[in-house]
Chains A and B, each alone.
Chain A
Amino acid sequence: EPEVTQTPSHQVTQMGQEVILRCVPISNHLYFYWYRQILGQKVEFLVSFYNNEISEKSEIFDDQFSVERPDGSNFTLKIRSTKLEDSAMYFCASRTGWNYEQYFGPGTRLTVT
């Protein structure tokens, strides 16, 4: 069964460094999402992406964040200058154009030291 994949599974970075989190959505899906979950808290929406542009974003998704679909398969989240409070699990999700069910990847645990 097709699934969303994410790499790396765990990334440790120093404050102020740039990180890129990678996702490969399910191949026939058209809508892509990033969510994050700070340890012990609820899952929060960051951004949605459709037709090569951002369709919605939350207040969390400020200028230090960006998303890109550099080719036909990858979907990336870049954090330009990481802060301690960016430490969280980051989930990628995708869905088709006709069904609203979102499928989540296994997550990337980001630790900022």
Chain B
Amino acid sequence: GIQVEQSPPDLILQEGANSTLRCNFSDSVNNLQWFHQNPWGQLINLFYIPSGTKQNGRLSATTVATERYSLLYISSSQTTDSGVYFCAGRDAGNMLTFGGGTRLMVKP
């Protein structure tokens, strides 16, 4: 199966700052999802983005499938953005393989 690496593992931001989270894949993926895990442990769907760019408010994501990476951009960060961000990819099978996550803390 594929390997999924996320960077950075930890990130501390001041409120209002922008950030870029990265997700690298060891092999081609057929779909890619980004999630936010909130302090209660819930996985919130952010993006389903096999390729191209999508935007949702202050968040946007870009996947370059041919180069096996995806980026999540957070602009004007808020304290409520804190939590762990996971990317997950699917290769030829049916399951998602998750990365290790980026733990984000946004300070007021």
Contact = CB atoms under 8 A, between A and B. Distances in A.
Nearest to B88: A43
A89 B41 contact: yes
A102 B96 contact: yes
Q: Which of B93, B96, B98, B101: most chain A Cβ within 10 A?
A: B96
A100 B93 CA distance: 11
Interface string A41-77: 0111100101000011010000000000000000000
Contacts, number: 54
B51 interface: no
Interface stretch (A15-23, A79-87, A104-112): A104-112
Nearest to B4: A42
Contact of A101 (B45, B98, B99, B101): B45
B80 to A, nearest CB: 18
Given A42-B86, A42-B99, A48-B94, A102 B41 contact: no
Contacts of B73: none
A101 B37 CA distance: 17
A107 B31 contact: no
Given A43-B86, A45-B95, A109-B41, A102 B101 contact: no
Contacts of B30: 100
A33 B93 CA distance: 13
B43 interface: yes
Nearest to A46: B95
Contacts of A109: 41
A68 to B, nearest CB: 18
Interface of B: 30-31, 33, 35, 40-43, 45, 48, 50, 86, 88, 90, 93-101
23 contacts: A33-B95, A33-B96, A37-B41, A42-B98, A42-B100, A43-B96, A44-B98, A48-B94, A56-B94, A56-B95, A91-B43, A99-B48, A100-B31, A100-B48, A100-B50, A101-B31, A101-B33, A101-B48, A102-B33, A104-B42, A104-B43, A106-B41, A109-B41
User: 4 closest pairs, A vs B, by CB?
Assistant: A101-B48, A45-B95, A43-B98, A104-B43
